[in-house]
Structure 1
Amino acid sequence: MTSTPQTSRRNLLRGAALTAGVAGLPFASLATRAEGATAASAVFSDAGYGPLLPAVDQATGLQLISLPRGFEYLSYGWTNDLMSDGTPTPNAHDGMGAYRLGDLVHIVRNHERNPSAAFTQPAYNPLGGGGTTTIVFDPEAGQFTESWGSLGGTVRNCAGGVTPWGTWLTCEETFSEAGGMRHGYVFEVPPTGKGNPAPYKAMGRFNHEAAAIDPATGIVYETEDRGDACLYRFVPTTPGRLADGGRLQALTIGSTKVDTRRDGSGTSYGAVGWVDIDEPDPATDTVRVEAQGKGAAVFSRLEGAWYGNGRIYVITTDGGPARQGQVFELDPVTDRLSVLFASPSGEVLNAPDNMCVSPRGGLVLCEDGGGTEYVHGLSTEGEIFRFAANDADLRDGTAGKNVPANDYRGSEWAGAVFEPSNGSWLFLNIQSPGITLAITGPWRQGAL
Structure 2
Amino acid sequence: MTHDAHEPNSRRRLLRSAGLGLGAAALGLSPIGKLLAQAGARADSHPGYGPLKVVRDLNTGLPLLRLPEGFSYTSFGWTHELMADGQKTPDSHDGMGVVRTEGDIVTLVRNHEVTAGWGSFAPAAATYDPRCGGGTATLRFDARAGKLIDARPSLGGTVNNCAGGTTPWGTWLSCEEFVSAAGNVALAGVEYPLGKDHGFVFEVPAEGLSRAEALVDMGQFKHEAVSVDPDTGIFYLTEDVEPEAGFYRMIPKVKGEPVRGGRLQMLKAIGAPDLRSGRRMGERLKVEWVEIEHPERGVDSDNGPRGVVRQGLANGGSRFTRLEGCFVGEGRVYFTATNGGDATCGQVWAYHPKDEMLELVFESPDPAVLDYPDNVVLSPRGGLVICEDSEQPVQRLYGMTAAGGLFEFCRNNVRLDGHMGFAGDFRDEEWAGACFSPDGKWLFANVYSPGFTVAITGPWRNGLI
TM-score by length of 1: 0.85
What CA distance in whole angstroms lies between the structure 2 residues aligned with 1:36 and 1:201?
39
Match of 1:423 in 2: 440
Q: How far apart are 1:317 and its partner, in Å?
A: 2.8
User: Aligned equivalents of 1:124 and 1:204: distance in 2?
Assistant: 16
Which segment drifts farther, 191-200 or 61-70?
A: 61-70
Give the gaps of 5 or more residues in structure 1.
1-23
Please provide the CA RMSD for this pair.
2.5
Aligned partner of residue 238 in structure 1, secondary structure:
coil
Asked whether the equivalents of residues 46 and 405 of structure 2 are also in contact (C-alpha less than 8 Å), the reply is: yes
Q: CA deviation at 1:29?
A: 4.2
1:401: which partner in 2? 420
Instruction: State the alpha-carbon separation in 2 of the partners of residues 31 and 97 from structure 1.
Output: 20
Distance 1:434 1:315 in 2: 25
* Amino acid paired to 2:163: A
Which of 160, 164, 177 aligns to 1:173? It is 177
CA separation of 1:238 and 1:379: change in aligned 2, threshold 3 A: farther
1:309/1:361 contact within 8 Å kept: no
Percent identity of the aligned residues?
45
1:236 aligns with 2:252: yes
Structure 2 equivalent of residue 376 of structure 1:
398
User: Alpha carbons of 1:302 and 1:28: their partners in 2 closer, same or farther (altered >3 Å)?
Assistant: closer
Q: 1:234 offset after TM fit, Å?
A: 0.7
The structure-2 alpha-carbon separation of the partners of 1:346 and 1:271, relative to structure 1 and needing over 3 Å to count, comes to: same
Query: CA offsets, 1:55-113, max 9 Å, x none?
Result: 32221222222223332211111100111111110000011111212320011000001
**Aligned-partner residue type, residue 399 of structure 2:** G
Deviations 1:205-243 (Å, cap 9, x if unpaired)?
000011000000000100111122111111101110111
Residue 425 of structure 1, CA deviation: 0.7
Aligned partner of 2:21 in structure 1 is: none
Q: Report 1:4-403 matches (<5 A).
A: 26-27=31-32, 29-30=34-35, 33=38, 37=42, 41=44, 44-45=45-46, 48-98=48-98, 99-116=100-117, 117-121=119-123, 122-176=126-180, 177=182, 178-227=193-242, 228-261=244-277, 266-282=281-297, 283-284=299-300, 285-343=306-364, 349-371=370-392, 372-390=394-412, 392-394=413-415, 396-397=416-417, 400-402=419-421
Amino acid at match of 2:179: F
Say whether the 8 Å CA contact 1:233–1:250 is kept in structure 2: yes
Specify the SS of the correspondent of 1:27: helix
Q: Residues 170 and 206 of structure 2 are in contact (CA less than 8 Å); yes or no, is this contact kept in structure 1?
A: yes
The answer to whether the 8 Å contact 2:383/2:463 transfers is: no
CA 1:130–1:34: 2 relative to 1, 3 Å: closer
| Matches of 2:132 and 2:211, distance apart in 1 | 15
Aligned-partner Cα distance in 1 for 2:345–2:336: 11
TM-score with structure 2 setting the length: 0.82
User: CA contact under 8 A between 2:41 and 2:370: conserved in structure 1?
Assistant: no
**Which sections of structure 2, spanning at least 5 residues, go unmatched?**
1-28, 183-192, 301-305
* SS at structure 1 position matched to 2:461: helix
Q: Is the 8 A contact 2:381 2:463 kept in 1?
A: no
Partner secondary structure for residue 401 of structure 1: helix
User: Paired residues, what number?
Assistant: 414
The alpha carbon displacement at 1:253 in A equals 1.2
Q: Tell me by how many angstroms 1:168 deviates.
A: 0.4
The whole-number CA distance in structure 2 between the counterparts of 1:109 and 1:35 is: 28
CA contact (8 A) 2:338 2:345 kept: yes
Q: Does 1:412 align with 2:449?
A: no
* SS in structure 1 at match of 2:217: helix
Structure-2 change in CA distance of 1:306 and 1:55 (3 Å):
farther
Q: 1:261/1:363 Cα in 2 relative to 1: closer, same or farther (>3 Å)? A: farther
CA distance in 2 between partners of 1:263 and 1:52 (Å):
40
CA distance in 2 between counterparts of 1:386 and 1:272 reads 38
Name the amino acid aligned to 1:426: L
Mapped partners of 2:59, 2:269: distance in 1:
50
